[in-house]
Amino acid sequence: MANAFVPGRIRLDPASQHLVEARARLLGPAYRLMYEEPLHFVKGEGIWLIDAAGRRYLDAYNNVTSLGHCHPAVVEAIRRQVGVLATNTRYIQEGILALAEKLLATMPDELGHIMLTCTGSEANDLAWRIARSFTGGTGIIVTKTAYHGITDAVAQFSPSLGASVDLGQHVATVPAPGDRGAEGPDGFAEAVERAISELRRHGIRPAMLIVDTMFTSDGVRSDPEGFLVPAVEAIRRAGGIFVADEVQPGFARTGEHFWGFQRHGVVPDIVTMGKPMGNGHPVAGIAVRPEVVAEFGRTSRYFNTFGGNTVSCAAALAVLDVIETEGLQKNAILMGQRMMARLSALSKRYPVLSEIRGAGLMIGAEIRDGARPDSQSAARIVNDMRTAGILISSCGEHHNVLKIRPPLVIKAEEVDLFVDTLGQVLENLNGAAA
Ligand code: PMP
């Protein structure tokens, strides 16, 4: 992970140092902390995270809590349900049905069933199992810097985990839309066609093309709308299915549309979702075309101890209600436009901020030095923003794209604070380079 804390590189205050050592001792070596100087939060409140010293940070990174941290309606829904009944999908319950109806109402009619999991990784794992059973194929096509999760099967089609995690033999990667090898409006579809041929040459039948419909870990590739259409047609012609990973773009983040795939005018065979679905409570799942899951359902039984439990369903229902009653999709459009316009203006003053991409409140700002991706400056900016009290991160193959995903409840003055702070950070970066 870029921008990760490296033990020993900087001096921490004694309390933080003590906790960092305890983490290493108790949790072992696989966890990472964000930022050169890690953060210790003790409270979340709306758009703010508050650290142990009482300092408030504007959270423009954590898209899980997209209604704002500790939204009272979600807190109350969880509290009420856990005090009445916490049980699983082996019993008849009304909450899961209300949730499925509400979710399906946000989707095209072709998507007829909802299945629930606890994490996005599990949702993609389930999608993969269903894709295999429906198509009889085993080949997977993903983008070069895709992230889809952590199970053994899903890690094999998550190249962004790095060279030390093996991609399966059955996995073909394609460049992110707009990158070399996938330029122009049809470039991505042509890359998918080439990947299909490559799989076939190795005797592998394609089962699915899976993409994050905003290509978040590939550096946010939003435009032109519709570029997914010929790619989806290509995978279907080859006998595979199209899986839209909506773990990042879903739940109104992209503004105009509730789901990222709707920006492209395609109807996926499976939609996977998670992250903001419970505003911090673990709940995730898939929507699927009935004909795609029919064979899987005939041969496999699906039970997930916590997936679809009564409490998770209550949390997810509350999230959908709040998005509607607080008009958050509209707010994502308006605040997204404000953010994009102000960032674009900033990019005229600071050429290092070379391109602003995105939709709604899913925004990527590319950092370049001339034509060269400038990962070093991107890391500097992310850490300097943290020092200035604003949380973002970076993404993309070269980690040179600022990943900006504030809660959908962000207000105009908070957008302005964000952009003004970024302006100051860029000004200081300029000064340091001079
Ligand atoms: N898909 C995408 C696009 C994601 O960004 C993530 C998480 N970052 C996942 C899947 C996996 O979700 P989880 O961490 O809940 O397993």
Q: What is the pLDDT along the chain (434 residues), one digit of tens a residue?
A: 557 888 888 899 999 999 999 999 999 999 999 999 999 999 999 999 999 999 999 999 999 999 999 999 999 999 999 999 999 999 999 999 999 999 999 999 999 999 999 999 999 999 999 999 999 999 999 999 999 999 999 999 999 999 888 998 999 999 999 999 999 889 999 999 999 999 999 999 999 999 999 999 999 999 999 999 999 999 999 999 999 999 999 999 999 999 999 999 999 999 999 999 999 999 999 999 999 999 999 999 999 999 999 999 999 999 999 999 999 999 999 999 999 999 999 999 999 999 999 999 999 999 999 999 999 999 999 999 999 999 999 999 999 999 999 999 999 999 999 999 999 999 999 887 76
Burial of 432 (0-12, 13-18, 19+ CB in 10 A): exposed
Global pTM value: 0.97
Q: How far is the CA of 159 from the centre of ligand 1 (A)?
A: 13
Does the CB atom of residue 120 touch ligand 1 within 6 A?
Answer: yes
Q: How far is the CA of 84 from the centre of ligand 1 (A)?
A: 30
Strands 139-143 and 113-117: unpaired
pLDDT at 105: 98
Q: How far is the CA of 154 from the centre of ligand 1 (A)?
A: 10
pLDDT at 4: 81
Please provide residue 229's backbone torsions phi and psi, each rounded to the nearest 5 degrees: -55, -55
Question: Cα separation of 283 and 69, whole Å?
Answer: 16
pLDDT at 433: 72
Expressed in angstroms, the distance from the first to the final Cα of the chain is: 29
Does the CB atom of residue 119 touch ligand 1 within 6 A?
Answer: yes
Question: Cα separation of 314 and 69, whole Å?
Answer: 17
pLDDT at 2: 55
- Top mutation candidate among 218, 248, 277 for ligand 1, by most atoms within 8 Å of CB: 248
Atom of ligand 1 nearest to the CA of 149: 11
Amino acid at 186: D
pLDDT at 434: 65
What are the tokens at 158? 């998550």
